[in-house]
Amino acid sequence: MKRYAVCLLLPVLLTSCAHVLSGEYVQNATTGVSFTQIAAAPDQYLGKTFVLGGTIVDTLSAREGSEMEVVQNPVDRYGSIIDPDISEGRFLIETSRQLDPMIYKKGRRVTFAGKLTGSKKRTRGEIEYRYPVFQAEQIYLWPTPKRLAPYYPFYYDPFLSPYQYYFYDPYWYGPYYPRP
Protein backbone atom coordinates (compact mmCIF):
# COMPACT_ATOMS: atom_id res chain seq x y z
CA MET A 1 0.00 0.00 0.00
CA LYS A 2 2.87 2.35 0.79
CA ARG A 3 4.36 1.77 -2.65
CA TYR A 4 1.14 2.87 -4.31
CA ALA A 5 0.98 5.98 -2.16
CA VAL A 6 4.58 6.84 -3.03
CA CYS A 7 3.91 6.24 -6.75
CA LEU A 8 0.89 8.51 -6.63
CA LEU A 9 2.62 11.19 -4.59
CA LEU A 10 5.92 11.17 -6.52
CA PRO A 11 4.66 13.07 -9.63
CA VAL A 12 3.19 15.76 -7.40
CA LEU A 13 6.44 16.18 -5.51
CA LEU A 14 8.62 16.23 -8.65
CA THR A 15 6.64 18.95 -10.40
CA SER A 16 7.38 22.52 -9.46
CA CYS A 17 6.71 26.03 -10.60
CA ALA A 18 9.51 27.77 -12.46
CA HIS A 19 10.11 31.35 -13.45
CA VAL A 20 9.28 32.21 -17.07
CA LEU A 21 12.72 33.82 -17.51
CA SER A 22 16.06 32.07 -17.21
CA GLY A 23 17.60 31.78 -13.76
CA GLU A 24 20.63 33.98 -14.35
CA TYR A 25 18.50 37.05 -15.07
CA VAL A 26 16.20 36.40 -12.14
CA GLN A 27 19.12 35.94 -9.72
CA ASN A 28 20.86 39.12 -10.91
CA ALA A 29 17.68 41.20 -10.76
CA THR A 30 17.32 43.98 -8.22
CA THR A 31 14.49 43.24 -5.80
CA GLY A 32 12.78 45.33 -3.15
CA VAL A 33 12.42 48.38 -5.41
CA SER A 34 8.91 49.31 -6.56
CA PHE A 35 8.20 50.61 -10.03
CA THR A 36 7.11 53.93 -8.51
CA GLN A 37 10.60 54.39 -7.06
CA ILE A 38 12.20 53.53 -10.42
CA ALA A 39 9.96 55.98 -12.30
CA ALA A 40 10.55 58.76 -9.75
CA ALA A 41 14.36 58.53 -9.80
CA PRO A 42 15.59 56.48 -12.78
CA ASP A 43 19.11 57.97 -12.56
CA GLN A 44 19.55 56.36 -9.15
CA TYR A 45 19.06 52.85 -10.57
CA LEU A 46 21.01 53.13 -13.87
CA GLY A 47 22.64 49.89 -14.98
CA LYS A 48 20.68 47.69 -12.57
CA THR A 49 18.71 44.71 -13.85
CA PHE A 50 14.99 44.46 -13.14
CA VAL A 51 12.29 41.90 -13.87
CA LEU A 52 9.04 43.65 -14.79
CA GLY A 53 5.84 42.80 -16.57
CA GLY A 54 2.96 44.55 -18.20
CA THR A 55 0.59 45.01 -21.10
CA ILE A 56 1.90 46.20 -24.47
CA VAL A 57 0.59 49.55 -25.69
CA ASP A 58 2.63 49.91 -28.88
CA THR A 59 5.59 48.33 -30.68
CA LEU A 60 7.76 50.38 -33.04
CA SER A 61 10.40 48.95 -35.36
CA ALA A 62 13.51 50.75 -36.57
CA ARG A 63 16.76 49.75 -38.28
CA GLU A 64 18.64 49.36 -35.03
CA GLY A 65 15.92 47.32 -33.27
CA SER A 66 12.50 47.66 -31.70
CA GLU A 67 10.90 49.67 -28.94
CA MET A 68 7.85 48.69 -26.92
CA GLU A 69 5.72 50.94 -24.76
CA VAL A 70 4.34 48.91 -21.88
CA VAL A 71 1.85 49.63 -19.09
CA GLN A 72 3.40 48.19 -15.94
CA ASN A 73 1.54 45.42 -14.09
CA PRO A 74 2.75 43.73 -10.90
CA VAL A 75 4.37 40.30 -11.29
CA ASP A 76 4.71 37.48 -8.78
CA ARG A 77 7.89 35.59 -7.95
CA TYR A 78 7.47 33.38 -11.04
CA GLY A 79 7.09 36.30 -13.46
CA SER A 80 3.34 35.90 -13.94
CA ILE A 81 1.25 39.03 -14.10
CA ILE A 82 -0.85 39.21 -10.94
CA ASP A 83 -3.51 41.72 -11.93
CA PRO A 84 -3.66 43.47 -15.32
CA ASP A 85 -5.93 46.18 -13.88
CA ILE A 86 -3.25 47.51 -11.48
CA SER A 87 -0.48 49.75 -12.79
CA GLU A 88 2.08 52.18 -11.42
CA GLY A 89 2.93 53.75 -14.79
CA ARG A 90 4.49 53.06 -18.17
CA PHE A 91 7.95 52.22 -19.39
CA LEU A 92 9.83 51.59 -22.64
CA ILE A 93 11.65 48.40 -23.61
CA GLU A 94 14.38 48.70 -26.22
CA THR A 95 15.91 45.69 -27.93
CA SER A 96 18.29 45.10 -30.81
CA ARG A 97 15.97 42.34 -32.10
CA GLN A 98 13.34 43.09 -34.69
CA LEU A 99 10.00 42.42 -32.97
CA ASP A 100 7.03 41.98 -35.28
CA PRO A 101 4.30 44.51 -34.32
CA MET A 102 1.61 42.00 -35.34
CA ILE A 103 2.88 39.50 -32.75
CA TYR A 104 3.92 42.01 -30.06
CA LYS A 105 0.68 43.92 -30.49
CA LYS A 106 -1.46 46.06 -28.25
CA GLY A 107 -3.07 44.15 -25.39
CA ARG A 108 -0.57 41.26 -25.22
CA ARG A 109 1.15 40.67 -21.89
CA VAL A 110 4.90 40.53 -21.52
CA THR A 111 7.46 39.80 -18.79
CA PHE A 112 11.07 40.80 -19.31
CA ALA A 113 14.44 41.17 -17.66
CA GLY A 114 16.46 44.22 -18.58
CA LYS A 115 18.86 46.94 -17.48
CA LEU A 116 17.67 50.45 -16.81
CA THR A 117 19.45 52.72 -19.30
CA GLY A 118 17.79 56.06 -18.60
CA SER A 119 14.55 57.87 -19.29
CA LYS A 120 12.78 59.60 -22.18
CA LYS A 121 10.23 62.37 -22.13
CA ARG A 122 7.26 62.12 -24.47
CA THR A 123 3.89 63.80 -24.63
CA ARG A 124 0.88 61.63 -23.96
CA GLY A 125 -2.24 63.59 -24.70
CA GLU A 126 -1.64 67.05 -23.27
CA ILE A 127 0.84 66.06 -20.57
CA GLU A 128 4.55 65.36 -20.76
CA TYR A 129 5.37 61.92 -19.39
CA ARG A 130 8.78 60.57 -18.38
CA TYR A 131 9.28 56.93 -19.33
CA PRO A 132 11.98 54.78 -17.72
CA VAL A 133 13.88 53.02 -20.55
CA PHE A 134 15.11 49.43 -20.22
CA GLN A 135 17.46 47.52 -22.50
CA ALA A 136 15.87 44.06 -22.75
CA GLU A 137 18.02 41.04 -22.05
CA GLN A 138 15.21 38.48 -22.22
CA ILE A 139 11.53 38.88 -23.15
CA TYR A 140 8.71 36.42 -22.51
CA LEU A 141 5.50 37.03 -24.45
CA TRP A 142 2.52 35.44 -22.73
CA PRO A 143 0.27 33.31 -24.94
CA THR A 144 -3.13 34.67 -25.81
CA PRO A 145 -5.90 33.00 -23.79
CA LYS A 146 -8.01 30.49 -25.65
CA ARG A 147 -11.64 31.34 -26.19
CA LEU A 148 -13.96 28.79 -24.68
CA ALA A 149 -16.97 27.45 -26.50
CA PRO A 150 -20.31 28.71 -25.20
CA TYR A 151 -22.14 26.53 -22.73
CA TYR A 152 -24.04 23.78 -24.52
CA PRO A 153 -25.81 21.37 -22.17
CA PHE A 154 -26.50 18.60 -24.71
CA TYR A 155 -24.45 15.64 -25.76
CA TYR A 156 -23.51 16.20 -29.37
CA ASP A 157 -25.45 13.98 -31.72
CA PRO A 158 -25.82 14.99 -35.38
CA PHE A 159 -29.33 13.50 -35.52
CA LEU A 160 -30.59 15.08 -32.29
CA SER A 161 -32.02 18.57 -32.45
CA PRO A 162 -30.96 20.56 -29.39
CA TYR A 163 -34.43 22.10 -29.17
CA GLN A 164 -36.54 18.95 -29.55
CA TYR A 165 -37.40 18.83 -25.81
CA TYR A 166 -37.66 22.57 -25.38
CA PHE A 167 -41.32 22.79 -26.45
CA TYR A 168 -42.44 19.99 -24.12
CA ASP A 169 -40.60 21.04 -20.97
CA PRO A 170 -39.96 24.77 -20.44
CA TYR A 171 -37.56 24.01 -17.57
CA TRP A 172 -35.25 21.74 -19.57
CA TYR A 173 -32.41 24.23 -19.14
CA GLY A 174 -33.18 24.83 -15.48
CA PRO A 175 -35.07 27.79 -14.03
CA TYR A 176 -32.04 30.12 -13.99
CA TYR A 177 -30.42 29.36 -17.33
CA PRO A 178 -30.55 32.44 -19.59
CA ARG A 179 -32.62 31.80 -22.68
CA PRO A 180 -31.15 32.69 -26.10
Give pLDDT tens digits along the chain (180 positions): 566 655 555 555 445 566 778 778 888 888 889 999 999 999 999 999 999 999 999 999 988 999 999 999 999 888 888 998 999 999 999 999 999 999 999 999 999 999 999 999 998 888 899 999 999 999 999 998 776 656 555 555 555 555 554 444 555 555 544 555
What pLDDT score does 14 carry?
47
In-domain check, residue 98: yes
* Burial grade of 110 (CB within 10 A; 0-12, 13-18, 19 or more): buried
CB-count burial class (<10 Å; 0-12, 13-18, 19+) for 150: exposed
Q: What is the CATH number of the domain that holds 69?
A: 2.40.50.140
pLDDT for the residue 11: 55
How far apart are the two ends of the chain, measured CA to CA in Å? 52
The residue type of 90 is R
Residue 147: CB atoms within 10 Å:
6
Note whether residue 81 is domain-resident.
yes
Domain residues for the domain of 54 are: 20-141
Residue at 179 is within a domain: no
Say which residues have a Cβ less than 8 Å from residue 111's Cβ, sequence separation at least 6.
Answer: 20, 21, 51, 52, 53, 75, 79, 80, 81, 139, 140, 142
Assigned domain for 51 exists: yes
Inside any domain, residue 4: no
Within 15-80, residue ranges assigned H as helices are 23-28, 35-40
The answer for residues whose C-beta is within 8 angstroms of residue 134's C-beta and 6 or more apart is: 50, 52, 91, 92, 93, 94, 112, 114, 115, 116, 117
Residue 72 lies in a domain: yes
- Structure pTM? 0.72
> Would 155 be classed as within a structural domain?
no
Rounded distance, CA 15 to CA 175, Å? 43
Alpha-helical regions (H) of the chain: 2-14, 23-28, 35-40
Q: Does 127 fall in a domain? A: yes
Angstrom distance (rounded) from CA 110 to CA 93: 11
- Split into its structural domains, the chain has a count of 1
